[in-house]
Amino acid sequence: MTHLHLDSIVKRYDSFTALKGVSLEVKRGEFLCFLGPSGCGKTTLLRVIAGLDPQSEGRVTLDGRDVSRQPPSARNYGIVFQSYALFPNLTVAKNVAYGLKLDRAATKARVDELLALVGLPESGPKYPGQLSGGQQQRVALARALAPSPGLLLLDEPLSALDARVRGHLRQQIKDLHRRLGITTIMVTHDQEEALTMADRIVVMNHGVIDQVGTPDEIYRHPATPFVADFVGAMNFLPGIAGEDGVVHVGDARLHSNSDLAPGAAVTVCLRPEDVVARHQNGANRIEATIEALEFIGPFHRARLHAPELGSHRLTADFSANLVRDLDLVIGGRLPVMLPRERLRVFPVA
């Protein structure tokens, strides 16, 4: 079941520590994303798995085999880089065949099969320079998959592409994964990419893992304020914990499911789309004024001033529908509800 096991991986460079004891289990066949801001250690971790930059401490177990000291060539994986790293002086077919050790006919058959798989059946005789960025990345994918590796590593594979190609390739990689069932680890700083593609997301920050979970868990139940902030938009309200899950924010008493000890300084988190403007039959109802109303496209983003919450403004997303129905305008008064089950309360570190 476990395909890859990382045990207390530490990676030190001269002056700083890029990974501070990372442990992780990767299941066979799953699509895992390492997500985090630049410098969080996600690429370093991928390169540790690949054996390209060996860890300073810790153990890497692949298929139950300790490969901590093994060179990349002994680890059985395929890798795709942001820069494609295609060999420009070799044709597409020769690039794909680069890692194959078959006879001529079998090589040709395998190359044709892979080029068909990535949707470039006619491109074999071309040189990489003659292809678009998205096509080059598909060739890189075919080259990585050609020797049928057990593990596919993708290092920001879509970052160098423009938005439209990125969306298309995202779908194609996901389809490939479904069809081949190969364990895949992708590094990305793009939360949308991670949320749409991954079976599980590993959110990293400052060389440690903040949270591991399905996209839904990560989005709905962020384990730390960092995850809450990094994935999706979020309101952060400073407060003090009270009795029975009550949190004091400004003059307001907000009910939550928090079990923090009374008197603790806390941060209350709420997603903008969870601010309720209709059907306000419940607790946590407050009066607010609309200070700004920004048209985003599918929805409007409002900045609400609720005197009860103190000086902090509340960001709320309202559907175009709702804005029309309630006739929301800047300067208008709007009572809103902050649903108890959607409030997430974190102790202030």
Partner 1 sequence: MSATAAAMPKPQSKPKTKPARSPRPVETADSRLLNGGTLILALFLTVFVLLPLGAIFLRSLYDRNDTFVGLANFATFLGTPALSASIGNSLSVALVSTVITVILAFLFAFSITRTGMAGKGWFKAVAQIPILAPSLLPAISLVYLFGNKGMLRDVMMGHSVYGPIGIVLGEVFYCFPHAVMILVVALSTADARLYEAAESLGAGPWRRFWTITLPGARYGLISAIFVVFTLVVTDFGIPKVIGGNYNVLATDVYKQVIGQQNFGMGAVIGMVLLLPALLAFVADWLGQRRQMALLSARSVPYVPPKSVWGDRLALGYCLLIAALLVGMLGVSAYASLVKFWPYNLSLTLANYDFEQFDPAGWGSYANSLRLAAWTAVAGTAVIFTGAYLVERSAALPALKLTVRLLAIVPLAVPGMVLGLAYIFFFNAPWNPLNGLYNTLAILVLSTLVHFYTVGHLTAATALKQLDPEFESVSASLKVPVWKTFGRVTVPLCLPAILDIGIYLFVNAMTTVSAVVFLYSPDTKPAAVAVLHMDDAGETAGAAAMAMMIVYTSIAVRVLHAGLGAWLGRRSQRWRAR
Under rule CB under 8 A, residue 319 binds partner 1: no
150-169: contacts with partner 1 (CB under 8 A): 153
Which of 14/327 has CB closer to partner 1? 14
Pull the structure tokens for residue 192: 């949308």
Among the listed residues 5, 193, 153, the one whose alpha carbon sits nearest the alpha carbon of residue 72: 153
Which of 81/236 has CB closer to partner 1? 81
Which of 1/296 has CB closer to partner 1? 1
Among the listed residues 254, 259, 280, the one whose alpha carbon sits nearest the alpha carbon of residue 343: 254
d(CA 277, CA 285): 10
Residue with tokens 């403004």: 313
Question: Pick from 2, 130, 148, 319: which binds partner 1 (CB under 8 A)?
Answer: 130
Under rule CB under 8 A, residue 21 binds partner 1: yes
CA 305, 310, 312, 315 torsion-angle sign: negative
d(CA 299, CA 69): 52
Q: Provide the angle, in degrees to the nearest 10, between the axes of the packed helices 163-180 and 133-145.
A: 20
d(CA 202, CA 62): 18
> What is the amino acid identity at position 130?
Q
Which of 55/137 has CB closer to partner 1? 55
Question: Pick from 83, 148, 171, 319: which binds partner 1 (CB under 8 A)?
Answer: 83
Among the listed residues 268, 340, 334, the one whose alpha carbon sits nearest the alpha carbon of residue 304: 334
109-128: contacts with partner 1 (CB under 8 A): 127-128
Residue window 244-283: x/- pattern of binding to partner 1, with contact defined by CB under 8 A: ------------xxxxx-----------------------
Under rule CB under 8 A, residue 13 binds partner 1: no
Provide the binding-site residues for partner 1, judged by CB under 8 A. Answer: 7-8, 10, 21-23, 50-52, 54-59, 66, 68-75, 77-79, 81, 83-85, 87-90, 98-99, 127-130, 143-144, 146-147, 149, 153, 208-213, 217, 221-223, 256-260, 343-347
